[in-house]
Amino acid sequence: MKLLAGVEKVSDPIEDELPKEKPHNNNEVDTIQDHLQGLIRKCDHVPADSSIKADISLNNNEAKLRRLLAFKDAPEYLQHNPYILHGYRGYLTTKLCVESIFWWTNETINIWSHIFGWMLFFGLTLYDLCLLNIHAPFGDKVIVALLLICFQVCMILSSVYHTFSCRSEKDYWCFLSFDLFGIALSLLSIYMSGVYYAFWCHKVCRTTTNLRTALQYGVCLRDGDELRLAGFAKAIVLIQF
């Protein structure tokens, strides 16, 4: 009995030392809930033109624009080859057009082949005109420089066309015109350089032939849109040229 009495005496101070649980405060919980509801109401009343909602909508739109399309879903003016079934870009902004250079699309090889082509001709220009110490007439150096520069212009314009052709139909036809201009310019430089070396000993024939060719090229550029030739007719004229 004395032992039990001692246990009861020891247990009493232990219970006194234990921290007592604080009573549940309903006022604090209600205050937190009211604060959260106020924040939710503020978010709901954010104006549509705010920077937060603008950023969210912009990110959502860019995510949708980054999706590649099938042939049947692509813009009609981009549906050239029915045997290429996937990998078409939709209407893109200028930023996404530049970004699409690093995507895998139906234009990736076209873009990078012309970029590497420009790098090649740029390196050849530096090598032939700056690194090689060739004692050639000034006219020869001018012809070689013009030939390589025309090739670079062709590569740049073609890569620009394949990159930005999906921005809009109007831009598509505009960049296509630049692409064809670069191709025609490179063909002109090839022809004129050939005439230059073919009539090396006949300066009068060389000069008159190159002037006549340059004049024909200028007339075609000026009146090309007014002729309105069909696609196959343009191809025939290009091959004959």
- Number of residues assigned to the chain: 241
Contact 196, 210 (CB under 8 A): yes
Please count the other Cβ atoms lying within 10 Å of the Cβ belonging to residue 153.
Answer: 18
Alpha-carbon distance of 4 to 15, in angstroms, equals: 17
CA distance 218 to 223: 9
45 is in an annotated binding site: no
Distance, CA of 175 to CA of 164 (rounded, Å): 8
Please identify which residue in the block is written with the tokens 């009539």. 199
Smallest CA-to-CA distance from 151 within 107, 119, 173 is with: 119
User: What backbone torsions phi and psi does residue 104 show, to the nearest 5 degrees?
Assistant: -105, 95
Name the binding residues for Zn(2+).
162
Binding-site annotation, residues: 162
